[in-house]
């Protein structure tokens, strides 16, 4: 070296970068979890901190109150309605609802067991047994 002193590096250290990246990953994970469950954990947490009711809960409560107040449709009639931006099926009459015809299905059936191959049921020859043993 030509007599110059190496000064310390300025900026964030490795541990500080690790803490910042872990915090960013935790925030991203919370966002993805809230998106998966169609909720917003951030506004719910903010509402808890400020002591206010979350907007989604108050909006759904008002929607359910209006749904209860509406006259009931005839039994067995389903209507496709949009409530708070979500499409729902309901038996309650709504202002922009369309009647949906229900279709009965058998649901999910278990897969059928394939029929046994007749070649597998036949006795194996000595050559087939030796080939089978060699391939194991």
User: For 19-31, how does the pLDDT look when each residue is reduced to its tens digit (9 = 90+)?
Assistant: 999 999 999 998 8
Confidence of residue 54 (pLDDT cuts 50, 70, 90): low
The mean per-residue pLDDT over the stretch 114-132 comes to 80
Residues 72 and 103 both lie in one domain: yes
Query: How large a percentage of the chain has pLDDT more than 90?
Result: 12
Q: Is residue 131 part of a domain?
A: no
Residues 48 and 72 both lie in one domain: no
Query: Domain span at residue 44?
Result: 14-52
Q: Is residue 102 part of a domain?
A: yes
Q: Is residue 86 part of a domain?
A: yes
pLDDT of residue 28: 92
Confidence of residue 3 (pLDDT cuts 50, 70, 90): low
Q: Is residue 93 part of a domain?
A: yes
Quote the number of domains for the chain: 2
**Number of residues that make up the chain:** 136
pLDDT of residue 75: 61
């Amino acid at each position: 070296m030509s007599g110059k002193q190496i000064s310390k590096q300025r900026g964030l250290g490795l541990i500080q970068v690790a803490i910042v990246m872990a915090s960013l990953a935790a925030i991203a994970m919370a966002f993805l979890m809230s998106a998966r469950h169609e909720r917003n954990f951030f506004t719910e947490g903010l509402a808890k901190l400020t002591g206010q009711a979350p907007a989604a809960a108050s909006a759904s409560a008002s929607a359910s109150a209006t749904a209860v107040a509406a006259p009931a449709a005839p039994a067995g009639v389903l209507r496709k309605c949009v409530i708070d931006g979500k499409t729902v099926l309901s038996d309650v009459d709504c202002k922009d609802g369309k009647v949906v015809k229900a279709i009965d299905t058998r649901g999910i059936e278990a897969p059928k067991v394939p029929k046994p191959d007749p070649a597998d049921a036949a006795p194996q020859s000595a050559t087939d047994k030796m080939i089978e043993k060699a391939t194991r």
